[in-house]
Amino acid sequence: MTPLLRSSLLAVFLSAGLRLFGAEGAVERNLIILDEAGVRNLRLETAEAVEADFHRTLLALGRIEVFPGRLHVVSSRIPGRATKVNVKTDQSVKTGDELIVLESRQPGDPPPSVTLVAPIDGIVADMEVAPGKPVSPDDSLLSIVDLGIVHAIAKVPEHFAGLLAPGQKAQIRVPGYPEKSFEATLEHLAAMADDVTGTLEAAFHVENPGSLLRPGMRAEFSIVTGSREGVMSVPREAVQGEGASRFVYVADFELENAFEKVPVEIGEQNDTMVEIVNGLFPGDTVVTRGAYALGFAGKGSVSLKEALDAAHGHAHAEDGSELAGEEGHDHDHDHDDDHGDAGGFNQLTLFFAGLSGLLLLLLILSLAFRKRPAA
């Protein structure tokens, strides 16, 4: 057995022993423990770390516009005077609703009148008419817009044009509804780029139930340009820190309202999620909303001793360790009941016993190889 092999085996066992000792003996963890009031005051929300499809996205800004063919202008084919206006700006109308009554300039007693009706369902957008105002065939009296579907135009930097193709999905958000997103499909790209702004228009058709999206609104576009399967990720707001020091707060599986600061290695990011390369396991519960504020909570409002006492139903030392000689309680920890009063015969004892055996074996092998006669 070579010295290199002996050193490698020894390093493996020592490393395993250190991890084992850390798991058994370390009670000092980077925990923040809150009471119920603290959780409510920080408005904490959590999410589960999951392995799922991870979308690569391209972010762009733009505006909401009227869908082509969904804006109708109402005018009169005969000259006259408006005698009655039955609608006002921003009023919803149905096809056939009476909008304006016009008195013709043709002679008569009374003069003949014409009633203009709504050509489509929609909302009155502009009003250029009032009772008594003269009207001519060239006048636009009012306009009606149908907002059941709208056009969303993204201004994409021209150097990203190669990433875009009709049929791609996007999530669209507007400042008026920050918690809501609207799904849309890329219909077409502009035939020409804007040589002033260096952008290319990407047009999306957006279903608009409730007419929440209004023409002229500013919009943020998250356009899906690719996807990977089985990627561990968490919401963006869960990841704190900067540069090389990134971390999340993970809810303790045993202690109520306890959160541990866990360093993580991140990968790709999109508009809502961050890939976690290392540091978390599927099913870990991470703090999302309130994660930044949690960093200023110190050790929290509940001590580790109080939290462990409540969780286990018996007293602990101030540092969270078990009290020596504590009797009259039932431990729910990972103790082996078959050993009864064997006491110290735990995992750490097993490790040192195994390490001693390995060292003895290495010594025997070393002596055996040393006594072998040279060929």
Q: What is the CATH number of the domain that holds 124?
A: 2.40.50.100
Taking the C-alpha atoms of residue 10 and residue 177, their distance in angstroms, rounded to an integer, is: 60
Instruction: Report the CATH number that the domain containing residue 280 is assigned in CATH.
Output: 2.40.420.20
In a domain, 21, yes or no: no
61 and 188 in a single domain? The answer is yes
pLDDT band at 28 (very low <50, low <70, confident <90, very high): low
Taking the C-alpha atoms of residue 23 and residue 11, their distance in angstroms, rounded to an integer, is: 18
216 and 239 in a single domain? The answer is no
* DSSP state letters, 180-243: --EEEEEEEE-SS-BTTTTEEEEEEEEE-GGG---TT-EEEEEEEEEEEEEEEEEEGGG-EEET
In a domain, 211, yes or no: yes
274 and 167 in a single domain? The answer is no
What pLDDT is recorded for position 12?
42
195 and 86 in a single domain? The answer is no
120 and 106 in a single domain? The answer is yes
Instruction: Give the residue-averaged pLDDT of 191-220.
Output: 92
Tokens of 62: 């733009």
For residue 339, count CB atoms less than 10 angstroms from its CB and return exposed for 0-12, middle for 13-18, buried for 19 or more.
Answer: exposed
Taking the C-alpha atoms of residue 348 and residue 369, their distance in angstroms, rounded to an integer, is: 32
What pLDDT is recorded for position 251?
92
In a domain, 221, yes or no: yes
175 and 162 in a single domain? The answer is yes
Check if the beta carbon of residue 15 is closer than 8 Å to that of residue 281: no
Instruction: Report the CATH number that the domain containing residue 215 is assigned in CATH.
Output: 2.40.30.170
Instruction: Give the residue-averaged pLDDT of 220-231.
Output: 92
63 and 153 in a single domain? The answer is yes
The count of domains in the chain is: 3
In a domain, 85, yes or no: yes
Query: Is 42's pLDDT higher than 80?
Result: yes
Last residue of a domain, one of 111, 145, 179: 145
277 and 244 in a single domain? The answer is yes
pLDDT band at 307 (very low <50, low <70, confident <90, very high): low
109 and 250 in a single domain? The answer is no
Instruction: State the DSSP code for 3.
Output: H
Kindly provide the b/e burial profile for residues 23-44, where b requires at least 16 CB atoms within 10 angstroms of the residue's own CB.
eeeeeeeebbbbeeebbeebeb
Last residue of a domain, one of 188, 212, 227: 227
Check if the beta carbon of residue 346 is closer than 8 Å to that of residue 294: no
Last residue of a domain, one of 227, 250, 280: 227
pLDDT band at 253 (very low <50, low <70, confident <90, very high): confident
155 and 62 in a single domain? The answer is yes
In a domain, 346, yes or no: no
257 and 221 in a single domain? The answer is no
In a domain, 334, yes or no: no
Query: Is 16's pLDDT higher than 60?
Result: no
Domain that holds residue 277: 47-55+230-291
Instruction: State the DSSP code for 111.
Output: P
Q: Provide the mean pLDDT of the chain.
A: 81
In a domain, 247, yes or no: yes
What pLDDT is recorded for position 107?
80
Residues 177, 180, 185, 189, CA torsion sign: positive
- Parallel/antiparallel/unpaired status of strands 273-278 and 265-269: antiparallel
Condensed to tens digits (0 to 9), the pLDDT of residues 105-153 reads: 888 778 889 999 999 999 999 899 999 999 999 999 999 999 999 999 9
Instruction: Give the residue-averaged pLDDT of 43-56.
Output: 91
Rg (CA), the chain: 36
In a domain, 103, yes or no: yes
Strand, helix or coil for residue 57: strand
278 and 153 in a single domain? The answer is no
